[in-house]
């Protein structure tokens, strides 16, 4: 079980008591993933399975601040999805929790944990226009590697450019540290 404590946030496995808050906290804007019953079923399944990066290629944690869930953060390393040793990080904070430093601390905590656990590469991507997330990644030591043209679908049927960032374990080739 992974639990990581920082000054303002705690990263911990989700529990049944978190489901309603995680579903409601998304604010219904779609940025947190599926809503309603679909989100509830997905979270309950995750809680029951307790997947790990080693068994299932997924680690999902609640971002907690002030004793309350304020979002979630995931590490993903699906088999055959990335080369061995590559892990991708994703985070979503509830709208009311954004701009308070929780994202920077959560990304930093999980990134350091992954690198210290032996992952040679942790990467993250975000929409080119998502200036806030790009700043978070830069503040956490991620290096911008390139533009992913027409990468993600948009609600209107178009495609959106994304930017890829990465961090590397010390002593590895290409290490930005």
Does 29 score more than 80 pLDDT? no
CATH architecture of the domain covering 4-123: 3-Layer(aba) Sandwich (3.40)
Check if the beta carbon of residue 88 is closer than 8 Å to that of residue 123.
yes
Does 30 score more than 60 pLDDT? no
Over residues 33-38, mean pLDDT = 68
**CA-CA distance, 20 to 170, in Å (whole number)?**
40
Q: Name beta bridge partners: 60.
A: 74
Over residues 94-100, mean pLDDT = 94
pLDDT tens for residues 130-164?
999 999 999 999 999 999 999 999 999 999 999 99
The confidence score (pLDDT) of residue 173 equals: 45
The backbone torsions φ and ψ at residue 13, rounded to the nearest 5 degrees and listed phi first, read: -60, 145
The confidence score (pLDDT) of residue 55 equals: 78
The confidence score (pLDDT) of residue 26 equals: 60
Does 31 score more than 70 pLDDT? no
């Amino acid at each position: 079980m992974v639990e990581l404590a920082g000054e303002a946030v705690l990263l911990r496995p989700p529990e049944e008591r978190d489901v309603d808050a995680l579903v409601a906290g998304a604010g219904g804007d779609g940025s947190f993933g599926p809503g309603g019953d679909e989100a509830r079923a997905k979270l309950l399944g995750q809680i029951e399975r307790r997947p790990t990066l080693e068994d299932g290629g997924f680690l999902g944690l609640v971002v907690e601040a002030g004793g309350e869930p304020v979002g979630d953060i995931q590490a993903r390393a699906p088999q055959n999805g990335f080369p061995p040793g590559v892990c991708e990080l994703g985070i979503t904070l509830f709208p009311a929790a954004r701009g308070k430093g929780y994202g920077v601390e959560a990304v930093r905590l999980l990134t350091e944990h992954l690198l210290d656990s032996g992952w040679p590469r942790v990467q993250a991507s975000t929409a080119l226009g998502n200036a806030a997330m790009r700043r978070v990644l830069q503040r956490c030591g991620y290096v911008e590697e390139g533009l992913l043209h027409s990468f993600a679908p948009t609600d209107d049927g178009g495609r959106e450019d994304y930017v890829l960032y990465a961090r590397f374990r010390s002593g590895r080739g290409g290490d930005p540290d």
